[in-house]
């Protein structure tokens, strides 16, 4: 060629397709180079199902149309059933919330010192909670650990 190529290409050069090199084979196969399929792998015409299953053409079209309408109706039934289930689940959640609020409202004046009422059945408690008991247990555990450390150091 004899011309010096620059490292930068212009937009026009980038848009043009490169000229194929006759010495370099193409990556896409030519239609004549695709091998033919062996006859063993061809499906015989007798194995292909009849589109109308032996029905006259007009009856087959009516049957396909009715089947399509039936499938669409079933899809609609499923969608509406899912909506009804979601509505029933939401109603049940709301009913349980209102029931909890009513039980809490009924026990409003029973607790002292601004404590909140709790439902032992809902929390699966066998005995009522005692005020400050958890804090005492944490303090006792801290004291026991402190004694062990002092004894181990001496």
Residue 83 placed within a domain: yes
Residue 117 placed within a domain: no
Residue 91 placed within a domain: yes
Taking the C-alpha atoms of residue 29 and residue 23, their distance in angstroms, rounded to an integer, is 16
How confident is the model at residue 89, as a pLDDT?
Answer: 98
Residue 45 placed within a domain: no
Model confidence, pTM: 0.45
Q: What is the pLDDT of residues 104-128, one digit of tens each?
A: 888 777 766 667 777 888 878 888 7
Parent domain of 77:
53-108
Q: Give, for 102, the enclosing helix (H) or strand (E).
A: helix 57-106
Residue 70 placed within a domain: yes
Sorted by sequence, the CB contacts under 8 Å of residue 100 that are 6+ apart come out as: 119, 122
Cα torsion 130, 132, 134, 137: sign: negative
- Ranges under pLDDT 50 in the chain: none
How confident is the model at residue 147, as a pLDDT?
Answer: 53
Residue 43 placed within a domain: no
How confident is the model at residue 118, as a pLDDT?
Answer: 78
Contact 118, 128 (CB under 8 A): no
Backbone angles phi, psi at 26, to 5 degrees: -75, 150
Taking the C-alpha atoms of residue 48 and residue 38, their distance in angstroms, rounded to an integer, is 19
How confident is the model at residue 97, as a pLDDT?
Answer: 95
Residue 62 placed within a domain: yes
How far is the CA of 25 from the CAs of 18, 20, 69, 110, 135, in angstroms?
A: 14, 9, 55, 92, 83
Contact 103, 93 (CB under 8 A): no
Number of domains present in the structure of the chain? 1
Residue 20 placed within a domain: no
């Amino acid at each position: 060629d004899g011309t010096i190529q620059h490292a930068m290409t212009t937009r026009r050069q980038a848009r043009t397709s490169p000229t194929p090199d006759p010495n370099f084979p193409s990556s896409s196969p030519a239609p004549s180079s695709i091998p033919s399929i062996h006859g063993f792998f061809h499906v015989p015409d007798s194995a292909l199902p009849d589109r109308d299953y032996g029905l006259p053409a007009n009856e087959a079209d009516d049957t396909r149309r009715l089947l399509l309408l039936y499938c669409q109706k079933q899809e609609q039934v499923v969608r509406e059933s899912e909506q009804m289930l979601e509505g029933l689940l939401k109603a049940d959640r709301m009913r349980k919330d209102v029931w909890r609020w009513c039980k809490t409202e009924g026990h409003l004046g029973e607790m002292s010192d601004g404590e909140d009422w709790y439902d032992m059945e809902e929390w699966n408690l066998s005995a009522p909670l005692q005020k400050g008991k958890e804090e005492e247990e944490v303090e006792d555990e801290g004291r026991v650990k402190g004694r062990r450390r002092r004894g181990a150091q001496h």
